[in-house]
Amino acid sequence: MITIDLSGKVILITGALGSIAEHMVRRLTEAGATLVLTDIKSAEEASEKLRGWRIPCSSYVYIPADITDSSQVNRVVGTAFQKFPQMDTVIGHAGGCGLHPFASTSEDEYERIFRFNYFAQTYLARSVLAEWMKRNIAGHLIFTSSYVARMPHTQIPSYSSAKAALENLARSLALEYALTGIRVNVVSPGNVAAGSSLKVFDEDPAYREFVLRVSLGRRNSPESIADTFVFLCSPLAVEINGQILSPDYGAGIGNRL
């Protein structure tokens, strides 16, 4: 039996207090990793939530930040490297949306969704990659995307476009930094029974009917998504670079007739 031991590894996670992130934090902590967590919620709110998840205080450092503000991203990354100078794994997990049809979504709201799901990830990448280059660390940057990057839906045009851009960015960075030893990969879930995916599933009957017709007709569990991140953070994945891993129950294949 193969076991994954992440003892001694420090991992930074953005969007760390969400419903899918809960299972990522649990799994990575159980594997022995020390986590640097950031989210927009206050330190007090984070402490209460993490206590409810039964995450030991000794296992994490929490830094509140709005990741759509590049200066706040730089502050989080700088603080993390000051405390953990050899940190070599970063997960850009923050993202999400509600339903936002193009015709009825304002310009400001459309751009806000895109900025949160794409440009905020570029801020993270710039800051982290600069630290790794300066410190000569062969780091691993992992983004969270979605299968809608390749199978767009009419109700979420900004989100699906942002995720498509993010996947292309990840592959571009993987190529650009390959000779430094830095790797960039993406986890691209299907419809997860948690978070914004669950919100859209519950709100849109057409989307719900579509989801239940794809491949196995099931939604992903958040635990399965967390397991994919644990794998990518482990030594088992050291030769994976520039890839889109899709724990999606086959949703990316298409619809059954």
Q: What pLDDT was estimated at residue 168?
A: 98
Question: Is-contact 2 31, C-beta < 8 A?
Answer: no
H helix or E strand, kind and range, residue 255: none
Q: What pLDDT was estimated at residue 11?
A: 98
Residue 191's closest CA among 164, 158, 151, 244? 151
In a domain, 253, yes or no: no
State the Cα–Cα distance between residues 29 and 224, nearest whole angstrom: 16
| Domain span including residue 100 | 10-247
In a domain, 4, yes or no: no
In a domain, 186, yes or no: yes
- Averaged pLDDT for residues 150-178: 93
166-187 per-residue burial string, b: 16 or more CB within 10 A, e: under 16: bbebbbebbeebeeeebbbbbb
> pLDDT tens digits for 214-248?
655 667 788 999 999 999 999 999 999 999 998 87
Overall number of domains in the chain:
1
In a domain, 124, yes or no: yes
- Averaged pLDDT for residues 74-88: 98
**Would you call 159 a catalytic residue per the annotation?**
yes
In a domain, 75, yes or no: yes
> pLDDT tens digits for 7-16?
999 999 999 9
In a domain, 2, yes or no: no
Question: Is-contact 47 62, C-beta < 8 A?
Answer: yes
Count the Cβ atoms, other than its own, within 10 Å of residue 227.
16
Which residue matches tokens 């927009």? 40
Q: Give me the helices (H) in 31-69, please.
A: 43-52
> 3-state class of 101 per DSSP?
coil
In a domain, 20, yes or no: yes
- Averaged pLDDT for residues 161-170: 97
State the Cα–Cα distance between residues 157 and 134, nearest whole angstrom: 37
In a domain, 254, yes or no: no
State the Cα–Cα distance between residues 70 and 143, nearest whole angstrom: 17
Q: Is 254 left (phi over 0), alpha (psi -120 to 50) or beta?
A: left
Report the CATH number that the domain containing residue 207 is assigned in CATH: 3.40.50.720
Q: What pLDDT was estimated at residue 107?
A: 97
Q: What are phi and psi of 45, to 5 degrees?
A: -65, -40
State the Cα–Cα distance between residues 138 and 145, nearest whole angstrom: 23
| Catalytic-labelled residue, pool 159, 177, 207, 249 | 159
Q: What percent of the chain has pLDDT over 70?
A: 88
> pLDDT tens digits for 28-42?
999 999 999 999 999
Please check the confidence at residue 255 and state whether its pLDDT lies above 60: no
